[in-house]
Amino acid sequence: MKKIAIAGASGFVGSNLIPELSKKYSIIALGRTARKSDSPNIEWKQTELFSTSSTIEALKGIDVAIYLVHSMMPSSRLFQGNFHDTDLLLADNFSRACKENQIKHIIYLGGLVPEGYISPHLKSRQEVEGVLKDSGVPVTVLRAGMVVGPGGSSFEILRSLVKKLPFMVLPKWTQSTTQAIFIDDVLSVVKETIENEDLKNKTLNVVNGESLTYETILRQTAQGLNLQRHMLPVPIASTGFSKLWVQIFGNSSYELVSPLIESLLCDLPQLNPPKELSSVIKYKTFTSMIQETLKRDQGQPLVRPKRKIKTEDTVRSIQRLPSVPKTCHWIAEEYMRWLPNFFPVFLMIRTSPQTHLIEFRFTFLKKPLLVLQYIKESFDIEREKFHIVGGFLTRTTSTGWLEFRQIEHKKYLLASIHEFVPSLPWYLYILTQAPVHKFVMMAFGKHLKKTFQQDENQVKVQKNFKEIP
């Protein structure tokens, strides 16, 4: 029996996929918390996808790894960064873990690639594709538009909007083209991808061929709910009001709504199902999807549990820096060299080669601000990690870490802090230490960019000098 791991198991697609696949396969569902299962073929495994070691451990003995993660919700009380940099980091952890465990097949559910403008949300899904492929493991990429079904966030938002708004203003984005796919068809496609060896290393558009606009979707949803709604198109392209409107009347959080609304500006391609999938896609119209959804859930929206935060006052900070043609070890050392020069007189750094401890100190204080311990990772050279083990700015000595990470052969560079618990009172922290850290990392990014621009210019000058007869 094949052993299949599902990352993003508690989401809409994952929660539908688990019982379906468990009829034939042994399922390991990866989540932030462990759960009990009544099925002998389903095991929930507590996994911290922000941790490479936790992800590697979770994927031991797995044959097929299904990746359904899209990180649009915060995982800590304070999050400095954006969802697409988070997606990049999580995908890199998953990619490394698949490579380490010699996984036979990765299946990734991403998004359709638009014609013309591409939103940060959809661009992030393309970046994830590249990171997973970089693992060297055979990858099947499934690109889908709106996934419709009982309990799905897309349908719940649509239903809430149509129910609460008898009169609707339709901005320009409602004329953008899109495609929808029913949840049952997504499940069938995933099953076909697992079973059909010929689908490895392919990118497939999971579509039913119906051409839609978002205005059409709203009107057909109203018809499905037997509601008379008045809709007025207006020549407004801004998404700011739409985000607020959908957040309030769509009964959704801003973190979820914001990237989704930005993606509505994209025109998704109007495609027919690929020949490899045409036989398994049954729902050919959005109207049939709405009818089936209402038939199954009888108008009762799914109540999802709120994401639990591991520690009450945790901080996560992820910044994308300019990528440079140096090792991650050099980048970490350059940061330690650069930082005291960025804060001359006030800041000093002491290092101990014997203990691998690094102390950040104010020159006028005896006790260090922070103490880091360098952790030498054995599996590659594209990551430098430092545990936060002391100093009066941290409340704990065993939960936080700082890391520099290069992704996809130095295509991307991330600097991040995870599971950090500050000792300062929370609101004092978010007004002082938090913005200072973000400012410092952005300044370091500018330093890296400037340094290597100067190096490139110097190389060009030397080359031109040599070419002078």
Helix (H) or strand (E) holding 276: none
Alpha carbon 463 to its chain's center = 42
- CA atoms of 238 and 200, how far apart (whole Å): 41
**What is the model's pLDDT at position 35?**
86
**What is the model's pLDDT at position 242?**
65
Full-model pTM: 0.90
CA distances, 299 to each of 153, 162, 248, 305, 390 (Å)? 14, 13, 20, 19, 53
**What is the model's pLDDT at position 249?**
62
**What is the model's pLDDT at position 79?**
86
DSSP-assigned states of every residue in 203-259 = EEEE-----EEHHHHHHHHHHHTT---EEEE-----SHHHHHHHHHHTT--HHHHHH
Ordered domains of the chain (ranges, CATH): 3-297 (3.40.50.720), 315-466 (3.30.530.20)
Q: Provide block-wise average pLDDT over 10 residues at a time, the chain (469 residues).
A: 94 94 96 86 94 94 95 72 91 96 97 85 92 96 93 82 85 87 97 96 95 92 92 78 64 64 78 92 95 78 48 86 93 95 93 91 92 78 92 93 94 95 94 94 95 66 49
DSSP-assigned states of every residue in 307-372 = PPPSSTT-EEEEEEE---SS-HHHHHHHHHHHHHHHSTTTEEEEEETTTTEEEEEETT-SS-SEEE
**What is the model's pLDDT at position 455?**
59
- CA atoms of 267 and 116, how far apart (whole Å): 7
- CA atoms of 294 and 277, how far apart (whole Å): 26
- CA atoms of 394 and 390, how far apart (whole Å): 7
- CA atoms of 232 and 216, how far apart (whole Å): 13
